[in-house]
């Protein structure tokens, strides 16, 4: 791993990323830089490609053109030379899995493992991927569940937890892997309104601790309060980006203004 702790190297860099699903051209050249320790909130109407962009970062989707660079390391490919010309070699799935382990991801529908308890969910990947011992993984899981306020729900199965509690377990599960970057894909969209607050509180706490985060959300209040950078996407391109004050306070583009007037 050529990862680095140099603070000048951005945590994530997307350079001209394109993505096609068959004939559908869903990402049309995304450029984005997320510095270490910052929070980037991605806004946009549904179908704008924001979730796809997020999934391209940890290679859940294979990109069609461009580069995704995580902490100075090219994701999904190795640069080499073939026939005297610079060429990309696709990495073996195991190597990609290794790269993914450095990025935590939280999904809209939680995707907890229903056959494992909350504790089991947080322990599992630590043991299977990081090869931590049972005891170490367990104590780390307990710490993480305490951090999201669920140390009294450790032996519960996901079906016994509320949506907000499930999403907090999902956050704990990702954090237990010691990720350098956390991706949130509409983490509160599937929640009942009264449960949104508890999840946002955990995310706010996480941002305050210095975690680098990219958050796809419709929670404008969260963006205004927590984001260092707000990105507005539509039709597979970044329409506008800047500080929350710039993008949310005085948007330059008509499409941004139109979107904000409808969600606020």
Partner 1 sequence: MSSPTGSDATTPGREPERIHAVPVRYPGRWVAAAVVAVIAAMAVHGLITNPRFAWPTVGKYLFATPVLQGVLWTLALTVGSMVIAVVLAVLLAVMRGSDNPVTRAVSWFYIWVFRGTPIYTQLVFWGLISVLYPKISLGVPFGPEWLSFTTKDLVTAFRGALLGLALNEAAYLAEIVRAGLQSVDRGQHEAARALGMKEGTILRRVVLPQAMRVIVPPTGNETISMLKTTSLVLAVPFTLDLNYATSAVGNRIFQPVPLLIVAAFWYLLVTSVLMVGQYYLERYYGRGFDVHKVNAGPQGPRRGRAARQAAINAAHTTPEPTPLDEMGGGLHNPGGVQ
Footprint of partner 1 on 204-243 (CB under 8 A): 205, 209
Q: Is 227 helix (H, G, I), strand (E, B) or coil?
A: coil
Task: Give the whole-angstrom CA distance, residue 77 versus residue 135.
Answer: 35
Where in 174-193 is the site for partner 1 (CB under 8 A)?
Answer: 174, 177, 190, 192
Q: Which stretch binds partner 1 (CB under 8 A): 11-19, 83-91, 113-121, 224-232?
A: 113-121
Q: Give yes or no for residue 71 binding partner 1 (CB under 8 A).
A: no
Looking at 1, 81, 159, 264, which residue binds partner 1 (CB under 8 A)?
A: 159
Phi/psi at 103 (nearest 5 deg)? -120, 125
Determine the Cα–Cα distance for residues 43 and 155; give it in Å rounded to an integer.
36
Question: Residue 131 or 262: which CB sits closer to partner 1?
Answer: 131
Four-residue CA torsion sign, 32, 97, 76, 70: positive
Stretch that binds partner 1, among 81-89, 172-180, 215-223, 230-238 (CB under 8 A): 172-180
CA distances to 11, 84, 127, 133, 178 from 90, rounded to whole Å, are 22, 18, 27, 32, 26
Pick the piece of the chain touching partner 1 (CB under 8 A) from 21-29, 64-72, 75-83, 116-124: 116-124
Output DSSP code: residue 113: -
100 scored as a contact of partner 1 (CB under 8 A): yes
* Binding flag, residue 162, partner 1 (CB under 8 A): yes
Give the Cα separation of 252 and 254 in Å (integer). Answer: 7
Alpha carbon distance 5, 179 (integer Å)? 14
Angle between helices 134-147 and 118-128 (to 10 degrees): 130
105 binds partner 1 (CB under 8 A): yes
Q: Does 93 bind partner 1 (CB under 8 A)?
A: yes
What token pair was written down for 243? 């500080």
Which stretch in 62-70, 82-90, 98-106, 216-224 sits in contact with partner 1 by CB under 8 A?
A: 98-106
Task: Tell me, by CB under 8 A, how many residues bind partner 1.
Answer: 61
135-154 residues in contact with partner 1 (CB under 8 A) are 140, 143-144, 146-151
Shortest separation between residue 237's beta carbon and partner 1, angstroms: 25
Sheet holding 237-242, edge to edge: 103-106, 181-185, 212-216, 39-43, 229-234, 237-242
Nearer to partner 1 by C-beta: 197 or 249?
197
> Please, which residue, 216 or 248, has the CB nearer to partner 1?
216
| Three-state SS at 258 | helix
Q: 45: how many CB neighbours lie within 10 A of its CB?
A: 16
Give contact residues for partner 1 (rule: CB under 8 A): 58, 60, 93-94, 97-98, 100-105, 107, 109-117, 124-125, 128-129, 140, 143-144, 146-151, 155-166, 170, 173-174, 177, 190, 192, 194-195, 197-198, 201-202, 205, 209
């Amino acid at each position: 791993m050529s990862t680095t702790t140099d603070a000048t190297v951005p945590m994530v860099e997307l350079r001209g990323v394109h993505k096609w699903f068959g004939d559908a051209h869903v990402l049309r050249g995304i450029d984005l830089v997320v510095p270490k320790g910052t929070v980037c909130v991605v806004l946009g109407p549904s179908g704008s490609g924001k979730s796809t962009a997020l999934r391209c970062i940890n290679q859940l989707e294979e990109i069609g053109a461009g580069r995704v660079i995580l902490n100075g390391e090219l994701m999904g490919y190795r640069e080499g030379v073939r026939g005297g010309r610079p060429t990309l070699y696709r990495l073996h799935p195991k190597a990609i899995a290794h790269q993914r382990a450095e990025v935590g991801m939280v999904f809209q529908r939680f995707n907890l493992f229903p056959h494992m308890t909350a504790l089991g969910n947080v322990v599992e990947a630590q043991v299977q991927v990081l090869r931590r011992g049972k005891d170490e993984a367990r104590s780390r899981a307990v710490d993480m569940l305490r951090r999201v306020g669920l140390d009294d729900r450790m032996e519960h199965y996901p079906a016994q937890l509320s949506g907000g509690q499930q999403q907090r377990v999902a956050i704990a599960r990702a954090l237990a892997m010691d990720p350098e970057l956390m991706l949130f894909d509409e983490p509160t969209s599937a929640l009942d309104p009264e449960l949104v607050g508890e999840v946002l509180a955990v995310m706010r706490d996480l941002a305050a601790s210095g975690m680098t985060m990219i958050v796809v959300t419709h929670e404008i209040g969260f963006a205004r309060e927590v984001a260092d950078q707000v990105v507005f996407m539509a039709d597979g391109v970044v329409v506008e980006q800047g500080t929350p004050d710039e993008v949310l306070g005085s948007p330059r583009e008509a499409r941004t203004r139109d979107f904000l007037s409808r969600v606020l």
